[in-house]
Amino acid sequence: MSLSDSPASAQDPGAVPAAGHPALAEPTTKVTPRWIMGLVLVNVGINAAFFGPINVFIGQQAISIDPGNKEAILSLVTGCGAAVSLVANPLFGALSDRTVSGFGRRAPWVLAGAVLATAALLAMSGATIVALMVLFWCLVQLGANAAYASITAAVPDRVPVLQRGGVGGLAAMGQTAGILLGAVFGAVVSGNFMVGYWLCAGALLFSVLPYLFHRNDPPLPREAREPFNLRSFARGFWISPVRHPDFAWAWLTRFLVNVGNQLTIVYLLFFLRDIIKHDDPALGVLILTGIYALMVMVTAVLAGPWSDRTGKRKPFVIGSSATIAMAALIMAFFPVWPGALVGAAVLGIGFGAYLAVDFALLTQVLPQAISRGKDMGVINVANSLPQVFAPMLAFVSLTYLGGYVTLFTTAAVIGLLGAVFVVKIKSVA
Per-residue pLDDT band for 317 (boundaries 50, 70, 90) equals: very high
- What are φ and ψ of residue 3, in 5° steps? -120, -10
68 part of a folded domain: yes
Per-residue pLDDT band for 219 (boundaries 50, 70, 90) equals: confident
3-state helix, strand, coil in the chain (%, to 5): 75, 0, 25
From first CA to last CA, the distance across the chain in angstroms is: 39
Query: Which range, of 75-79, 115-119, 262-266, averages the lowest pLDDT?
Result: 262-266
Interacting residues of 244 by C-beta distance below 8 A, sequence separation 6+? 365, 367
16 part of a folded domain: no
17 part of a folded domain: no
405 part of a folded domain: yes
53 part of a folded domain: yes
DSSP string, 278-296: -S-HHHHHHHHHHHHHHHH
pTM for this structure? 0.80
Per-residue pLDDT band for 319 (boundaries 50, 70, 90) equals: very high
* CATH (domain of 103): 1.20.1250.20
Q: For residue range 347-369, what is the model confidence (pLDDT) as tens digits?
A: 999 988 998 899 899 989 988 87
Q: For residue range 138-175, what is the model confidence (pLDDT) as tens digits?
A: 999 999 999 999 999 999 989 998 899 999 999 988 98
- Cα 134 → chain centroid: 20
288 part of a folded domain: yes
Note down the domain range covering 299: 31-219+232-424
Per-residue pLDDT band for 20 (boundaries 50, 70, 90) equals: low
Secondary structure letter of residue 275 according to DSSP: T
Buried b or exposed e, range 170-192, using 16+ CB within 10 angstroms: bbbbbbbbbbbbbbbbbbebebe
The answer to whether the beta carbons of residues 232 and 11 sit under 8 Å apart is yes
Count of domains forming the chain: 1
25 part of a folded domain: no
pLDDT at 316 over 90: yes
Write down the pLDDT at residue 17.
45
- Where are the strands (E) in 173-231, listed by range? none
Q: For residue range 92-101, what is the model confidence (pLDDT) as tens digits?
A: 999 999 888 8
9 part of a folded domain: no
